[in-house]
Structure formats: structure tokens, C-alpha cells
A and B are shown apart, each in its own frame.
Chain A
């Protein structure tokens, strides 16, 4: 008998499925509305088909990921860069380099396509270059402290956290903005889909600045003091801050208080990194611990330790964890799901201290800034082998970059949409009717403010019937009635004045101030 071959595509379909089809189809058959039933069924079928087609297009992905396969008693962590240098091709060997610079320690940043590198030395040295081709874009000596550097949405602009303010430079090194709202910033980050530059510093304020409109979107007082640990969740755009009391707080621009507060370490938090999928977080503290967290349950999944407190963490596209501690950089493979006993790779930068570790997107390379410059080492299997040219293209031309910039601006996500649940938009609001109605009412009232009507002070007593009678009478005729009326009005007036003045024999009291006219003493 010939066994029916199973479709190999079906195994990878779940990766491309948006949501659970079975859950969506629950109870559909019991629906009374036949039209609705048909619509839901048809749509689910379309979703299924789309996922299947996307999965079958995987055959077009030509590139395969890198790897290290030990033979016999070999261990991957024993492989040095020098030994690796002999094994790899020339173009990869070019990616192993070290820059000896005097203005360290250095912080570094790569663009989203991994093509361009920005380095900033504490003593004011900033350089931007296409690191693979070796073309320098600009080099600056700012002559003041540089604490952090960050590329904006593409390689034409970058932000530098300097001694007092944050500055934005273009690729030729011309200063184009000085952000005076961001004071004494220690860490910068950029949310590319929202065009938000975020900063945290000695003042403990987390600030969000929209780089497309120039507006300061939000500033949150963390109330947890000086902070120099910040990382973004690439899947949800939530900012994670690590504080001196060992907590990690999660922030969105829409809430003045942290969305989540996690007690992660017993000492100050030294570094935070979040995985590409947004599900895992790695934190390290002065207590020497390296903890890995599941961000869906906010619980630790694994705990490691480092010989000295880790100064910097980075998670690669394929889930490798890079840890910089002392003068070492170690890389852990698959550290989240299973407890690893030994690292995947090790690297020593002699007589230096590692400051900033970053994996390069779409490359098997790890770059790190240290006290004596910056180095780049090869870590096989760290980068995503197949890029999407419409999302991040390492080989993009100038024209493509410009076009992508326009599209990115058109598709800019509003900061109000940053939430813990990314799938929230377009979902049905399942709150009770009363809550929904209340929200509706509040929104309406906010949109239609009641204008404060000015109080009119109408002079009273000017239009009594006797006065009207007098007015209507001919002015030059004096008769008995008119005289009487005038007398009565005069008497009334006097009486009123007397009443208002009170009894002069009685002593003045504190309550007299409410009685209208001032009392004559």
C-alpha cells in the first residue's frame, strides 16, 4: 500500500496564521443570521488560504541561516575569532574588525537594515559609516560628553545625547536640531513605526518626541530617580526602563504611570533586552544575576549569573542572547526555553570594559563598543537570513530609501495606539452597554464644551410700576397723584438706605461685610 504523503507546507502554516481559526469558528453554526454565518465562514476560509499560500512561499527563501556544528569533543564556546577567521570566506572575514579609539567608552547603534553603524565615544567622538563597504559618512568631535547615539528612521539622521541636551545631526554631520526638552539624557531609543524618539536621563523623566512633527508627545515622571537602562519592545513599542531599586517598569506614551512594574533584581538593574517577537525579556543586575522573563506572564523563565555584573545585553533576530560583562562578551544560544549549561560563544576584549553590545540585523555579526574603541565579531546563526526588501533592505538604493521614507511617514502609527495588546485595533469593544454609553457621553461632552455664560448683573428696582406710571405721564404736567408718587418713591429710597446701613447704635460685626453697601461709621 502506498502511504499518502503529508503536505510538508501544513507543518509551517501555524507560523503564518493570524489568530486561532477554530476559536473564531466557535458557535458559528448555531448562528441564526445566515448571511452573517456565510460571511464569517467565507472570511475564515480566506484567512486559511492566505496562511497556506504564505507558508508555501517559503520555498522562495533561498538563504539558510548560519550555524556552528561541533565535531567530536569540540565545543563551540572554545572557538575563538582567530580560529573562525581561517574558516570563513573573505567577505565575512572583513566583518571581523576592531577599531582602536581613544575617546571611549563607546556606545554603538546599527540601522534597521544593518548596513550603517554609528559610534559615539564618551569623550565626544561621533562617527557614522557604512561599515560593510567601509565608507565614512561623517566624523565629529563634539568636545563634550556623549552618552548615547541613535539612528533615526534611516541613515540620513541620527540623535546624540550630549552633556546637557539631545542633538540631531544629518549624515554629513551638520547639527539640525537641538532638543532642549531632553535634559541630561543617558539613553536614547527610537520607535521606527511611530517616529518617536524616546529618552531617559539623570532627571528620571521618560520623554517621547515625535521626529516627524517635532512635537513632544509625552513626558512621564518615573519617580524612580536617575535611570540609564532603557529598551524598547520591538513588537509592541512599549518602553522598558531598568531602575536603581531593581525594578523594571513598562511605559506607553498614553499612561502617566507605568503599565507594569516588575521587581527583577536585588540591586540596580544594569541592562535590559527584549526579544524580536516581544515575548521574552532579559535583564541583568548589579547582583550578578542574569534573568530571562516571559513577557506574557511576567514570570522568570530562566536564571543565569555572570562572573561580574553584565553591562549590556542584546538579543539577536534568531534569539541569541549576547551578554557583555567586564572585558568579556558571551553569546547564549536558545537560553529561554531550556537552561543552558555553557554559552554558545565567548569573546575576550583584553584590557578593556565592554560598554554596549548590539547584534547586527540580517548579519551573523555582533558589534560592541568598549573602553578602547569598538569591535565587531562573527557569531554564526545570529542574523535572519532572509530579509524583506519592503521592510528593511540592506541593499537599498537611494531612490528606494526615499520611497520607503515617504511610505513610512504615510503609515506612521499614532502614539495613542501603543498598547500592551497590539491586536487591539479593530477588535470589538466587549464592555457592558452602560460603560460604552458613559464613554460615548464623555467623548461627546469633551467635543462640545459648554461655554461659560457670563453672568449678567441686572440693576433691580429701576422698573417698578410706580416709576413706569411716572414715565408715561407727560413730563411737564404736575398733578396731585404725581406728587404723591414722587414722595413715596423718595421715602422708599430713604427707607432702603436706612435698612442697608443698619442700626448705628449697634456695634459693627464681621458679618456686616455681606450686607451690601459699606456701613458708615
Chain B
């Protein structure tokens, strides 16, 4: 009779020396791992709870501005670099790692309406209601001798400027005001002036990938795209309400988002402007500023409702809301170039630094920790729609004013919907209007 019996030796299954790592023999046979799904669910639930427990997004407030902060600019290549412009003409350069102002000057006689960085060194541009645009170079001055700071160049326009944007690589920049002016660094007068029947233009933004395209928003509820190669406007889009800010997608050159006065952010494809690609809802007041993450996957918005919201660019509802007791209306937001932090500049004169993912642990992580976090992330994704996990994941403590406003808004929207349906129901079929898709409702018209 042939006989074989299991006989393991401890030497084979255990480590030989105490310095060795323990031997871990695996057998992936599912029958040896019962309750797989239930255990995974438990892990997902725990991971979700832990994530909410560690959600402490506020990193610090950069104080220094006396008036509100109405514009900010990041540098395309420097992580530590941030410039902000205040309501009293104050300009400040910040070191984000030290969380302090390293250079400042009162650069304008009126409110600074726009700042813009460009690739060349530490230089940046600022524009103001005092009808000037100035180029500054913080690196040439000592921070103490504030009184002697003078701009490298000053350009004077006919009217107040409302926004500024620099070309990605060339020495040209665009300003908005009563018209859009294209300036060369070396010329005192604008080299081009663009207008399509708009009185006041709020903002102007150069596309940083398709570098000849400019987007601008007008106070007559329009968004106009221009092409510098032909010096002609490309498209004019009229929305139901005014657009406050625009951000180009850094990865998909043809996509941009528009922060609208009607509490929503609309994303558009510049080739098909007759309907928006996505609507980001959740703010309860006008959205004042918007910025894309450098990956193009995330969007940060700042609102008149004194909150900062973070969106997944492809989803319709915000994934997080940031607020503090002292933060007032948020007029400018930025996503840092390392995709890890967001910045908000608000009425109360502070620039605030937040984590982009509220519960993320900063600093180096070893392999096992990283593997564990990736595993829990995947589990959370797998069970995201289970009611218990969804409830914990979505829950946020928000200020009372936001909560009541949200409730009021949802009641209003619902009653409007009910009314619309009732009207439809009591209209003769031949007179019934076609239903307008949600994504087309805000679009009044497109001109080419």
C-alpha cells in the first residue's frame, strides 16, 4: 500500500534566524477565506469612519492683508510661490511652506483686480481699478525696504482693468476692462483690442495649453472666446445669469468651467457650446471663483456663501465643503500645482491653506501604509453605494446658514419642478412644449 501523510517541519514553515522576516505562506483558495464579502464590507465601513475622523483639512491662515483678498495667482513651475492682491492695492508674495508673507508692497492706488504669474523668474503682473498694469520683480528687492519698491514696467489704460492673464510662453498678456486688450511687454500701448459688443468684461483667461485661445466673461451674461491668430472672436455664449470666473482644463485644452451667479458651475466643451458638459451644483450662493487641479480631475470653487467646495470634475455634486467661523465670502481659490492643497482668499483679508483631500496624511509614508491605504480606497469605492457607508461618507457638519439655505433651495427647486409638471399635465398635448434637458437650461444662445 502506498501511503502519504501530511508532515510539515517547523523549520520549513518558520524563519531560521531572528533577523529574518517571518515566512507567510498564502493559499488563495476561496474556501479557506470564508465571509470574504462581509469582511471586506466591514473593512470598508471602518475605513470610511476613519476617513471622516481624520478629516481635518485646514492647514493654516496666511494673514497680512488689511483689506479683503480679491485675486491670487500661482506659479506654473514654483510650488512655494503665491501672489495675492488686496482691496487696498496691497500686493503680497507668500512662501507657502513657511506660511508667511516674504514680500509686499502697496502697488496700486485702488483695488487690485487681477494678478498673473509667468514663466520668467519670479516676476508677476498686477492690474487694478486705478487704470494701471504693473510688472513686479520681488527678487530684486530686500523685503525690508518696502518704500523703495518700484515696478519694472507700468502700462496705463483708458479705463479701469478688471482682470489680467498672461500668455503661457510669449511676452504678451491680456487685460479686460471695457474691452479686451492684448499687450506686449515692450509696448506702451495695446497691440490688439478685441470687443464683441460688450460694455464691461469681468475676467479674461488665456488657455495655457492651446495658447492662442482667450476666454472672457462679460457683465451682459456672455462668455466670449477669441482666437489671437485671427484676432477674431470665435464663439459667444449667452447664459441665463452672469459668469464670475473661468478656468481652463489643464489636461483637456478644449474644456473649461464657468462659475456662475446662479450658484452653479458649468463645464463646457469649446467646440460644442450649445449645451454644458456637466453642471456642478451645491453652492447656495453665487460662485465667485473656480480653479482646476493640475490633473484636470478635480475642481475647487469659492462662493459668496462663505464656503469652499471641492468637486470631482466628472460628477455633479461636491465631494467636500470647507468652511471656518471667520472665513467670509471667498473671492479667489486656487489648486496648488502638486495637487495636494487648495488656497482660498476671502473678504476677511486672509489667505487660507487647505488640504485637497481632507483626511490625507501628509509627509512620507512607508510601503505598508501606502498599500493599506490603497486597499481601503478600493474597498470604499467597491461599497460606496451601500446605504450605511454612503451616509457616513456624505455627512458634513455645515454652518446653520448653509444648511437652512440648502433646505430652502431644494424646496424651491422642487416646487418649481412640480409646477412645471403640473403645467405640462394640464396643457393640451399639441401645445405642450418639449422638455429642455438640464444641461441646456442655462444656455440662452450661442453665436459663432
Which A residues are within 8 Å of any B CB, using their own CB?
Answer: 15-16, 18, 54, 57-58, 60-61, 63-71, 74, 76, 79, 84, 87-89, 91-92, 193, 234-235, 237, 276-278, 362-364, 378, 380, 383-395, 397, 400, 410-414, 417, 422-423, 425-426
Can you name 16 A-B pairs with beta carbons within 8 Å? A16-B30, A61-B27, A66-B4, A66-B6, A67-B4, A87-B3, A88-B7, A91-B9, A193-B35, A388-B25, A388-B26, A388-B29, A390-B24, A413-B39, A422-B34, A426-B383
Which B residues are within 8 Å of any A CB, using their own CB?
Answer: 1-10, 13-14, 22-35, 37-39, 41-43, 46, 382-383, 386
Min Cβ gap B30→A in Å is: 7
**A263-B315 Cα distance, complex, nearest whole Å:** 55
* In contact, B14 and A423 (Cβ under 8 angstroms): no
**A5-B383 Cα distance, complex, nearest whole Å:** 40
* In contact, A386 and B25 (Cβ under 8 angstroms): yes
**A363-B4 Cα distance, complex, nearest whole Å:** 12
Min Cβ gap A45→B in Å is: 16
Min Cβ gap B19→A in Å is: 14
Q: How many A-B residue pairs have CB under 8 A?
A: 134
**A6-B13 Cα distance, complex, nearest whole Å:** 34
**A493-B281 Cα distance, complex, nearest whole Å:** 68
Instruction: Find chain A residues with CB under 8 A from B22 CB.
Output: 397, 400
**Contact (A380, B5) CB under 8 Å given A395-B14, A411-B39, A414-B42:** yes
Min Cβ gap B29→A in Å is: 7
Q: Residue on B with the closest CB to A194?
A: B35
Instruction: Find chain B residues with CB under 8 A from A79 CB.
Output: 1
* In contact, A70 and B1 (Cβ under 8 angstroms): yes
Min Cβ gap B24→A in Å is: 4
* In contact, A68 and B25 (Cβ under 8 angstroms): no
Instruction: Find chain B residues with CB under 8 A from A414 CB.
Output: 42
The 4 A-B residue pairs with the shortest CB-CB distance in the complex, in nearest-first order: A69-B2, A386-B27, A388-B27, A395-B13
* In contact, B28 and A57 (Cβ under 8 angstroms): yes
* In contact, B35 and A64 (Cβ under 8 angstroms): no
Min Cβ gap A309→B in Å is: 31
Q: Report which of B7, B33, B41 forms a contact with A391, defined as CB distance below 8 A.
A: B33
* In contact, A64 and B383 (Cβ under 8 angstroms): no
* In contact, A413 and B42 (Cβ under 8 angstroms): yes
Instruction: Find chain B residues with CB under 8 A from A411 CB.
Output: 39, 42-43
**A92-B26 Cα distance, complex, nearest whole Å:** 24
* In contact, B31 and A276 (Cβ under 8 angstroms): yes
* In contact, A63 and B43 (Cβ under 8 angstroms): no
Min Cβ gap A15→B in Å is: 7
* In contact, A364 and B5 (Cβ under 8 angstroms): yes
Min Cβ gap A192→B in Å is: 9
Instruction: Find chain A residues with CB under 8 A from B32 CB.
Output: 384, 387-388, 391-392
**A498-B387 Cα distance, complex, nearest whole Å:** 66
**A423-B47 Cα distance, complex, nearest whole Å:** 21
Instruction: Find chain A residues with CB under 8 A from B10 CB.
Output: 395
Min Cβ gap A308→B in Å is: 29
Q: Report which of A57, A88, A410 forms a contact with B5, defined as CB distance below 8 A.
A: A88
**A195-B26 Cα distance, complex, nearest whole Å:** 24
* In contact, A68 and B6 (Cβ under 8 angstroms): no
**A221-B28 Cα distance, complex, nearest whole Å:** 39
Q: Residue on A with the closest CB to B39?
A: A411
Instruction: Find chain A residues with CB under 8 A from B26 CB.
Output: 57, 60, 388-390
* In contact, A412 and B42 (Cβ under 8 angstroms): yes
Q: Residue on B with the closest CB to A94?
A: B7
Q: Report which of B6, B27, B29, B39 forms a contact with A65, defined as CB distance below 8 A.
A: B6
Instruction: Find chain A residues with CB under 8 A from B383 CB.
Output: 425-426
Instruction: Find chain B residues with CB under 8 A from A277 CB.
Output: 31
* In contact, B42 and A74 (Cβ under 8 angstroms): no
* In contact, A410 and B30 (Cβ under 8 angstroms): no
Q: Residue on B with the closest CB to A35?
A: B314
* In contact, B27 and A425 (Cβ under 8 angstroms): no
Instruction: Find chain A residues with CB under 8 A from B38 CB.
Output: 193, 413, 417, 422, 425
**A71-B6 Cα distance, complex, nearest whole Å:** 21
Instruction: Find chain A residues with CB under 8 A from B2 CB.
Output: 67-69, 71
* In contact, A388 and B4 (Cβ under 8 angstroms): no
**A88-B3 Cα distance, complex, nearest whole Å:** 8
**A393-B10 Cα distance, complex, nearest whole Å:** 11
**A65-B23 Cα distance, complex, nearest whole Å:** 21
Given contacts A60-B26, A87-B3, 10 further A-B contacts (CB under 8 A): A58-B28, A69-B1, A193-B39, A237-B35, A380-B4, A387-B27, A394-B13, A395-B10, A410-B43, A413-B38
Q: Residue on B with the closest CB to A395?
A: B13
Instruction: Find chain B residues with CB under 8 A from A57 CB.
Output: 26, 28
**A84-B46 Cα distance, complex, nearest whole Å:** 51
Instruction: Find chain B residues with CB under 8 A from A15 CB.
Output: 29-30
Q: Residue on B with the closest CB to A84?
A: B3
Residue from B29, B31, B38, B46 whose CB has the most chain A CB atoms within 10 Å: B38
Instruction: Find chain A residues with CB under 8 A from B3 CB.
Output: 66-69, 84, 87-88, 380
Instruction: Find chain B residues with CB under 8 A from A87 CB.
Output: 1, 3
**A426-B43 Cα distance, complex, nearest whole Å:** 13
